[in-house]
Amino acid sequence: MRQWRTLGAVPPEDLVGMRVELHHAVQLLASFGQTLLDARPDDSHRSMVWNAPDSGFSTSALDGEPTLRVTVAPTDLKATLHEETGVLASRSLVGLTPDEAYAWLEGEIAGALGRDGLQLDRPEYEIPPRGAATGSPFGGTPPAALVELEVWFENAAGVLEGLVSQDANATPVRCWPHHFDIATLLVLDPEIGPAEGRTVGVGFSPGDEATPQPYWYVTPYPDPGTYDLPDLPGGYWNTEGWFGAVLPGSAVVAAGSAAKQASLTEAFVREAISAGREVLGG
């Protein structure tokens, strides 16, 4: 696992507006995948990965030449078009409206591919509205909050990649642009697959409408309906509406030092996975 970076420079409860702004910015990546990558049954062509060297979210690369991919870095809301040999174009989204951001990226991709008039399809799903008007420019987000969101995702990616490296039946770590969570599925019935078999989802969300602050979750599936569940370090079990374990970001921050925050998160994830496997009989 990568070295844990200390959280808490900005309280978890104060990240809502910044999280929504970033959620809208990364839709550029979903559009890249939706338009230019081959569609996959699990919708992963629209997903992202956390790319540590770029300190941001990245699309998959196009097959063939040129091998384009796009990243968005939280700290400065910078979008970058990469080719295998290096950076083709880079621009901060601050001061651009979403339409202007799309127009810029479409122009750069069209130039790289030699496809005049290229337009990126926009995802059909709804995401939380921005505090500002929908068409207003990106910006007005305190830099410290964007850095804090980067640290949350960086830490989460490290923990999840560590899990995947130890479980041959875990799915790749992906960040999903609809709900904006980063997660893996531990597949308990590999001969059936995750679509039909039992799974334990493990992931991190920067927050949502139901739980505004960042949180970790572990979700056994299918819901067994009856529960005999252990206490969890720093967290609790949710059984209303959906079944799973939750570790609030405020509990992680309250742990204190980087080492203690990492230890609490790892203990929660480990014990919640163990309990999840047990309730599923595997």
pLDDT tens digits, one per residue of 17-37: 999 999 999 999 999 999 999
Residue type, 156: A
Q: What does the pLDDT read at residue 49?
A: 98
pTM: 0.96
Q: Residue 176: its pLDDT value, please? A: 98
**Distance from chain centroid for Cα 8:** 19
% pLDDT > 70, the chain: 99
Q: What is the pLDDT of residue 1?
A: 64
Question: Residue 282: its pLDDT value, please?
Answer: 74
Task: Kindly tell me if the per-residue pLDDT of 261 is higher than 90.
Answer: yes
What is the rounded average pLDDT for all residues in the chain? 95
- Distance, in Å, from the CA atom of 212 to the CA atom of 197, rounded to the nearest integer, reads 31
Determine the average pLDDT of the residues in 45-50: 98
> What stretches of 61-173 adopt beta strand conformation (E)?
69-73, 78-83, 86-92
- Residue 87 CA, chain-centre distance (Å), reads 23
**Counting Cβ atoms within 10 Å, is residue 196 exposed (0-12), middle (13-18) or buried (19+)?**
exposed
pLDDT surpasses 80 at 225: yes
Residue 210: what are its φ and ψ, rounded to 5°? -80, -35
132 pLDDT tier (thresholds 50, 70, 90) = low
User: Which pLDDT score is estimated for 198?
Assistant: 97
pLDDT (mean) for 174-196: 96
Domain residue extents for the chain: 13-113, 143-279
**Strands ordered across the beta sheet of 69-73:** 49-51, 56-58, 69-73, 78-83, 86-92
Q: Tell me which of 3-12, 146-155, 225-234, 243-252 is least confident.
A: 225-234
